[in-house]
Amino acid sequence: MKESVFKTFFYSFFTSLISILLVVYTLSTTSHQFYENLTSHWRSLWIIFAVSALLALSFTVFNYLENWRIERHFSRDISKAMKGLKVENPDINSVSQRIQELTKQLQDATREDTVKQVEIVTEERKRISRELHDSVSQQLFAATMILSGVVGNKKLSSEQMTTQVNLVLKILHEAQNEMRALLLHLRPVELNGKSLIEGIGGLVDELQAKISGKISWVYDNDINLSRTVEDNIFRIMQELLSNALRHSKASNINISLLNSGNNVILKVEDDGVGFDTNQTKSASYGLKNIRERSVLLGGDAKIISAPNQGTSIEIRIPKNEY
């Protein structure tokens, strides 16, 4: 504030001084006379300086008081606007109304996002509960029934008993794979400080330790995406690997994350059992979720599969969407 007042006085003083000197010069008949008047009449020169200083001081005080008045009115209007009261200044009133509208929109968006998150969590719980019942629970029940039949039947031959025990082992192995897939699916959905490459690499290592098939993992090191996009791609990758572990029965799984112009391409291919994409199964929650996440990121998902011909899923995500 002090610096601003000093500058105002300084500029006003020199402006007034130059203006007065110009007037005196104009009234003088010649430039020589103007110089003689200034050098021979020191009193007149001091008067010029004094008048200039007085004018500068008057302007500075007036400017300071006017700025103070404007600032006071502005602060008062802002205070009223913050309290939701109507103010006299139409510009501030308009800005206040706009801020209130934006605040309401933000609150509505936050509320909708919270509701959507709750719905997603609820749907995930229902899906996991349904899958536990339809797969693991049913498999364990079948194994229990077979073992009960073996224990209670003393007429079974050694060969028949071996067949039944092998069947139980097969069922338990399938149940174990189902549980592993669900546990993989329940991992944290965020990268937790890791890069996308590190996160996917961890998933690949975890899956490789659980299956006998071979997994190939190829990627570009210079993939730069926002944290939101990376978290969603990581979640898509979780879903893809969980599906591969549970359903594909593949000997080879090829995974790639590569740059392609302005896009990033995530591709997962396997030589497993495949499925008919025209049947209801292809529209399961997992694949539907993958498609929805891809569209949310401004991309798309292409799913190619056929019975006994493996599966290829390609996710295209624009780099500059977020």
Q: What is the pLDDT of residues 219-265, one digit of tens each?
A: 998 888 888 888 888 888 888 888 887 777 888 999 999 999 889 99
Q: What is the pLDDT of residues 47-81, one digit of tens each?
A: 666 666 666 667 667 777 777 776 776 677 666 65
Confidence class of residue 278 from pLDDT cuts 50, 70 and 90?
A: confident
pLDDT of residue 20: 60
For the chain, what percent of residues have pLDDT higher than 90?
A: 11
Span between the terminal Cα atoms of the chain, in Å: 43
Confidence class of residue 187 from pLDDT cuts 50, 70 and 90?
A: low
pTM: 0.50
Residues 286, 279: Cα–Cα separation, whole Å? 15
Q: Who has greater pLDDT, 76 or 105?
A: 105
pLDDT of residue 254: 94
CA distances 310 to 214, 237, 246, 257, 273, Å, are: 14, 18, 14, 19, 6
- For residue 260, give every residue at least 6 positions away whose Cβ sits within 8 Å of its Cβ, in sequence order, or none: 316
The most confident of the ranges 99-113, 189-203, 232-246, 253-267 is 253-267
**Residue 111 pLDDT > 70:** yes
- The CA-CA-CA angle for residues 177, 179, 182, to 5°, reads 110
CA dihedral 301, 302, 303, 306 (to 10 degrees): 180
Provide the 3-class DSSP secondary structure of residue 98.
helix
For the chain, what percent of residues have pLDDT higher than 70?
A: 61
DSSP 8-state secondary structure symbol assigned to residue 246: I
Average pLDDT over residues 106-122: 72
Question: Sheet holding 311-318: strands in order across?
Answer: 214-219, 252-260, 263-270, 311-318, 300-305
In the chain the beta strands, taken as DSSP E runs, fall at 214-219, 252-260, 263-270, 300-305, 311-318
Residues 144, 167: Cα–Cα separation, whole Å? 11
Average pLDDT, the chain: 75
Provide the 3-class DSSP secondary structure of residue 139.
helix
**Residue 298 pLDDT > 80:** yes
Contacts 24+ apart (CB under 8 A), 284-289: 285/123, 285/127, 286/239, 286/242, 286/243, 287/243, 289/239
- The CA-CA-CA angle for residues 288, 292, 294, to 5°, reads 115
pLDDT of residue 267: 94
Chain centre to alpha carbon of residue 294: 14
Lowest-pLDDT range, 42-51, 174-183, 189-198, 304-313?
Answer: 42-51
